[in-house]
A and B are shown apart, each in its own frame.
Chain A
Amino acid sequence: MFNTVQVICASEKDRTILRGIFANLGADAVFSADLNDALAVFEKARPAAVFFADGEEPPAEILLREIKRVAPLIPAVPLLKRRDAERAVGLMKAGAFDCAQSPWTEETLRPVYRKALRLSGTAIELDSTALRSRRRSAALALAAFFAFTGFAGGFYYGFKRFSPKAVKPHTFALPYAHPTGIVIKETTALVTDWYSQGLYEHDLKDFSIRKVTSLPEQTPVAMTATADSLWLAGANGVLEKRLPDTRYTPVSKTAAFSPPPDSVCFDGLYFWTADSRSGVITRRMPGDALTELKSYKYPGGRLSALTCDTRFLWAADGGLKALVKMSLDDPEKILTRKELKAYASKTLKVTALASKKGRIWFAGEDGGRGVVFFENEPK
């Protein structure tokens, strides 16, 4: 602690007493006999506080004024020669830091000496309860801030850490409204639309259109694919075999089936056609003529669309609002059925199905718009 103090005292006797006291207090005391002497050494001494004896010439008030003029912020402590509270308060109002009362001893001067080396101002409040309330409010606001920050940080961390990864969309809106057939390939999906008489090739990632092939001579109502060809069923009941080249070149046609099928699929061994109006499912020989082998009555509610893979027949049932799985050997027996959430939309009409790699793809109309969506194959 900076402990140089200046002591102004004319009396040699008092200086002797004070020298001993300040020495015992550990202060580095610089003594001056009068004000002029004090001001002369003031700049050099740079004291932390000034103590001066009261009751000498010049009066303490003048000493205070001159000291404050030179160093306004320095603590000035009059040493009263008798205990006079009113004079002490008067000197304090004049700028004294405090007043030490007589008799001057180490005990009486220690607090004043030590306190003089520190300093500020009176805090005043209209109502202390308001101060406490403000402090409490500030503390609560601070706590709330940290709590919110912690909560938000934790929530963000937890959200990032534990929330499931975003599910890729599995419903796609089509830019045409009347899809009738769907074939899923490795990276693309082929969809036919009867109204625009087109065959659309979509990117499987986002269902953006890659290619459009116009089918001016046919109104496609169903479609399926084999390893080396594409089969399109027309509204007239004729199935066309086409090459999977860039123009889908026609190769052959069947005779017109009656009733005209609106679903067609190939299970790797046989062809299957279905008529949703009558609910008739027909197994056919593979070949250009697709000769009928046997017909079955659909066992579910209302057949909307049919597809197959090498294991099962799959049907979208608008009556049961479900995906129905049937045996290839006995299509008149339902193996399982799974309710389709998509049927929550009252306007959904499924018109085509496709099975690929454990997913069942649906194409249809919903509220005047074409849609494609898929469901994972039920166990």
Chain B
Amino acid sequence: MNPNKADSYIPALAKTALDLPPLWGRLTALSSDEAEFLSHFELPAGKTLALSFELGGVAFEDVRARIRTALRDPDGYYNYALAFTAPDQRELLRSAIGTQLPR
């Protein structure tokens, strides 16, 4: 069975620290608990991000996530496995994703 997919990779802005400029990339996978973030910017595993993105017309701002793993692909992009850390934001995500999926 094919997994559910958006019509394109979801663009996302990521803030790492107040004193550093934000970076960007795309979410290649998304669930209420975790996500995969693809970016050509390099970040270390364990770092916490604040992600901003839109899902189905709903804007999510500063969704906190921790980088569990960071893997560089042959093209030079980084695949970050993220775990969402805030329970309330996870619930919002779950609700938004639930409305996007076919019933």
Contacts and interface: CB of A to CB of B under 8 A. Distances in A.
Interface string B75-103: 11100000000000000001001101100
A61 to B, nearest CB: 14
A69 to B, nearest CB: 17
Interface of B: 1, 3-14, 21-34, 40, 52-55, 74-77, 94, 97-98, 100-101
B75 A128 contact: no
Contacts of B97: 124-126
Contact of B3 (A85, A114, A125): A125
Which of B8, B21, B55, B77 has most chain A Cβ within 10 Å? Answer: B8
A125 B4 contact: yes
A216 B52 CA distance: 110
A124 B100 contact: yes
B13 A126 contact: no
B17 to A, nearest CB: 13
A36 interface: no
Contacts of B22: 85-86
Contact of A121 (B1, B8, B40, B53): B8
Interface of A is mostly: helix
Interface of A: 83, 85-86, 88-89, 92-93, 98-99, 108, 110-112, 114-115, 118, 120-129, 131, 134, 138
A150 B6 CA distance: 39
B83 to A, nearest CB: 10
A123 B29 contact: yes
B6 A111 contact: no
Contacts of A89: 11-13, 24, 52-53
Chain A to chain B: the 9 pairs with minimum beta-carbon distance, closest first: A111-B76, A85-B22, A92-B11, A128-B31, A114-B75, A111-B40, A122-B6, A121-B5, A125-B31
B53 to A, nearest CB: 8
Contacts of B3: 123-125, 131
